[in-house]
Structure 1
Amino acid sequence: MLYKIFIDPFVQMGMAPDLLVQTLWDGLVAGVLYALIALGFVLIFKASGVFNFAQGIMVVFAALTLVGLHEKGVPAYVALAMTVAVMFALAVGVERLMLRPLVNQPDIILFMATFGLTYFLIGLGELVFGGNPKVMIASELGLPKGTIDINMLGGFVSLQKIDIAATVIASAMVASLAVFFQKTRVGRALRAVADSHKAALSVGISLEQIWVIVWFAAGVVALATGIMWGARSEVSFALQIIALKALPVLILGGFTSIPGAIVGGLIIGIGEKLGEFYWGPLLGSGIESWLAYFIALLFLLYRPQGLFGEKIIERI
């Protein structure tokens, strides 16, 4: 039994290196997309200190808006621009109607407000676009189809073109947002708001503008995530379940760290695929659905602040 758990999977990796590369590639794609989802959570948490439970449904709502507009006869790229405008309107509405009235309230109240936002977006999405699964307009947006087969290591590795595009686009978005929030004036303002709302206000930083910016950025990230995940499967309300994988990613990387979201996403994505392929037959199918949360539990026990999170020291 110990041999099958600790030795045999690694023997299989050595005997079939092409399958190992294929598994690593699938994990890399999933990990980058998990990191993109987690990034939306990180942006809002850094600006307000509140975990946005609605980020998952924002992914679904953005994708439904895009597909729904196209179904009504709007050209694909015009629908994309209109969806971006809808996410901006959502950011303004959240700031005006939810965040502004609840400023300086306990974090748990803002957290519960995001629950309300979740069910509002679910109801609005079903009312306007219906509850049936939809097909993402991937080809209309210029996303590639088909596969690329590469001969290597005595076998071949099959790469889906949509996965390559998703990895490149998601990586570019993550890198761009990281640079934007690290090097620009808005990014410095965001870090100031994250450190202290009162201190930020004292130097003339507008909380309202910062909140709109980060919620809009999170909305754009949600739209990109919805397009990529929708192109790989379909657009339905079940996509919000995928967004829950951002929880273990955030626990691993730290709730306030953009690099942590990237590293955590890769660890979870690759770890899931390796666990499912090599240890799944031994431990039972479906290991991919719970392994991420098991890894997160280990981190909570031994490093609760995550790999890149800051330790919180309180005087008693």
Structure 2
Amino acid sequence: MLKDIFVTPFADMFSAPDFLLQVLWEGLVSGVLYALIALGFVLIFRSSRIFNFAQGIMVVFAALTLVGLHSFGIPAWISVVLTLGVMFVLAVSIERVVLRPLVGQPDIILFMATIGITLFLIGFGEIIFGGENKVMISEELGIPTGDTVLEPWGGLLILQHLDMTVVVVAVALVGGLLAFLNYTQMGRAIRALGDDHQAALSVGISLQTVWVLVWFIAGIIALVTGIAWGARAGVSFALEVIAYKALPVLMLGGLESITGAIIGGLLIGILEKLFEIYWGQPLLGGNTETWFAFVLALIVLLFRPQGLFGERIIERV
């Protein structure tokens, strides 16, 4: 019995290496998208100590705005620029209306405020865009379709052009973000706030400016992620549920670590796909992708509460 549960699926992983590569590729693509969403959480938490519960609905809202603007006859790339403008206005509005009046309040109050932002965006989005599923404007944006078929070891490996584009764009976005954080004045200000809030404020770093900037960057990440997920699964409020897969990524990688968000996303994307294909479907009836990431993160937290890449907090009394 134990052999059937553990040994046989593990051996099957190597009996068809081309199929294993296919599973790994699909897990990698999902992991890249998980990592992108998690980056939005990490940036906002590092700069403000706010856990942004609204990041998931921001993905949906950005995608719906893009599709909605295009439905009015606006060209696709102009719709992208206008959507970025909407996300900037949203960032400024959140800072002015929600966050600025709550400066100095307990963390739980700020967290509850992001839940309020989530509920507002859901209601506002349904009023403006409706609740029905929409089709992402992939062709209008020039996102390639079709497949590239490789034949490793005499088998077949199918790489969808959409997935290849997602990986390339995500790598470019992460690279640009890291360059911004490390080599620009505002990027260093964001990092300074993440390292020591009081010291950063004492040298004249504007909390309000940084908050607007990080929420806008989170909006850009939300738009890219919304386009990618929307092209794969359609645009609807169901995307918010997919976006919350970033939560176990954060638990695994740590709330303050950009590296942890990237590696955690890739790990969860690949491991959940391997578990689903080789153990979940044959032994548990499938559908393990809905809970595997959360169980994995819980196991990690039992042994390392700050996550794999989070800093251990030591308090002296």
Q: Work out whether residues 197 and 207 of structure 1, in 8 Å CA contact, stay in contact via their aligned partners in 2.
A: no
- Of 39-48 and 182-191, more deviation after overlay is shown by 182-191
What residue is the counterpart of 2:286 in the other structure? 285
1:101-140 superposed Cα distances (whole Å, 9 cap, x missing partner): 0001100000000000001101111111111110000110
Distance (Å, rounded) in 1 between the aligned partners of 2:187 and 2:40? 15
What residue is the counterpart of 2:257 in the other structure? 257
TM-score normalised by structure 1 residue count? 0.98
Residue 153 of structure 1 deviates from its aligned partner by: 1.6
1:245-273 superposed Cα distances (whole Å, 9 cap, x missing partner): 10110111111111111100011000011
Residue 236 of structure 1 deviates from its aligned partner by: 0.1
What residue is the counterpart of 2:71 in the other structure? 71
Distance (Å, rounded) in 2 between the aligned partners of 1:168 and 1:304? 33
Query: What's the secondary structure of 1:30's corresponding residue?
Result: helix
Distance (Å, rounded) in 2 between the aligned partners of 1:188 and 1:83? 27
What residue is the counterpart of 2:165 in the other structure? 165
Distance (Å, rounded) in 1 between the aligned partners of 2:36 and 2:90? 20
- Of 179-188 and 87-96, more deviation after overlay is shown by 179-188
What residue is the counterpart of 2:124 in the other structure? 124
1:9-62 superposed Cα distances (whole Å, 9 cap, x missing partner): 221112111110000000000000100010010110111111100000000000
Query: What's the secondary structure of 1:223's corresponding residue?
Result: helix
Matched letter for residue 165 of structure 2 = A
Task: Please provide the CA RMSD for this pair.
Answer: 0.9
Identity of aligned residues (%): 64
Q: How does 1:133-212 map to 2 (within 5 A)?
A: 133-212=133-212
Distance (Å, rounded) in 2 between the aligned partners of 1:181 and 1:251? 23
1:288-314 superposed Cα distances (whole Å, 9 cap, x missing partner): 111101100011100111111101111
Matched letter for residue 265 of structure 1 = G
Gaps of 5+ in 2: none
Distance (Å, rounded) in 2 between the aligned partners of 1:61 and 1:312? 36
Residue 202 of structure 1 deviates from its aligned partner by: 1.1
What residue is the counterpart of 1:102 in the other structure? 102
Query: What's the secondary structure of 2:156's corresponding residue?
Result: strand
Distance (Å, rounded) in 2 between the aligned partners of 1:182 and 1:243? 27
1:132-162 superposed Cα distances (whole Å, 9 cap, x missing partner): 1100001100100011111112210111110
What residue is the counterpart of 1:46 in the other structure? 46
Distance (Å, rounded) in 2 between the aligned partners of 1:38 and 1:5? 33
What residue is the counterpart of 2:214 in the other structure? 214
Distance (Å, rounded) in 1 between the aligned partners of 2:286 and 2:86? 40
What residue is the counterpart of 2:298 in the other structure? 297
1:76-100 superposed Cα distances (whole Å, 9 cap, x missing partner): 0110000000000000001101110
Q: Which runs of 4+ in 1 moved over 3 A?
A: none
Query: What's the secondary structure of 1:70's corresponding residue?
Result: helix
What residue is the counterpart of 2:308 in the other structure? 307
Query: What's the secondary structure of 1:255's corresponding residue?
Result: coil
TM-score normalised by structure 2 residue count? 0.98
Q: Work out whether residues 148 and 161 of structure 1, in 8 Å CA contact, stay in contact via their aligned partners in 2.
A: yes
Asked if 1:90 is matched to 2:101, the reply is no
Residue 169 of structure 1 deviates from its aligned partner by: 0.5
Matched letter for residue 305 of structure 2 = P
Distance (Å, rounded) in 2 between the aligned partners of 1:201 and 1:146? 51
Residue 6 of structure 1 deviates from its aligned partner by: 2.2
Distance (Å, rounded) in 1 between the aligned partners of 2:228 and 2:14? 32
Distance (Å, rounded) in 2 between the aligned partners of 1:289 and 1:140? 32
Asked if 1:246 is matched to 2:281, the reply is no
1:163-206 superposed Cα distances (whole Å, 9 cap, x missing partner): 00011101111121122112322122112212333322210100
What residue is the counterpart of 1:20 in the other structure? 20
Q: Work out whether residues 77 and 141 of structure 1, in 8 Å CA contact, stay in contact via their aligned partners in 2.
A: yes
